[in-house]
Structure 1
Amino acid sequence: MVSIRLKRLGAKRRPVYRIVVADGRTRRNGATLAQIGFYNPRANLAKGEADLTLDVEAARRWLELGAQPTETVVSLLRKARVFDVQSANA
């Protein structure tokens, strides 16, 4: 199964993530099929905002092809207003 998930980058205690499409059997930081976004949860902690960059068209295309997002990616897709959450979990 193909999944949309986070790939961790960054230094110790300073995580930065790529939003990637990968085979569900590969490791967290293993080979990926495509990179569709970037997420920095620590970008602006004073204001409570995170840095999120996402290729919306690529995300929709992979979802149409049957890729399953993880729970964290679902919340990020919700923030980016890519899709209605109920339609993705159905």
Structure 2
Amino acid sequence: MNLRMELFVKNIDKSMEFYGSVLGFSLPKDVNKNYIPVRKDDVVLGLGEMKNLPESHPLKAVDGQQIGLGVEIVLEVENVKNVYNRVVEKSIQSRLN
């Protein structure tokens, strides 16, 4: 059995940058911006833009609605300080660009 989580995001490009460049997930070679599976080891996250969900989808957020309520995603890593420092470094770099 495998587990894949799907995350509905506001901006697919920024999400790809975060999961790829900051957290080190592999991005597929052929990118279909409607749905992008990113992978790191045994973790697969499917990224899709919230705006592309049909209105009837139960996770479709409407204006002002808090999204992600009741969900927590935990990625266990070997060295949390290294990951934290990489996130901080990438955050600073993105502000300079």
**TM-score of the two chains, using structure 1 as the length reference:** 0.30
Instruction: Name the one with the larger strand percent.
Output: 1
Which protein shows a greater Rg? Answer: 2
More helix by share: 2
Query: TM-score, length-normalised on structure 2?
Result: 0.28
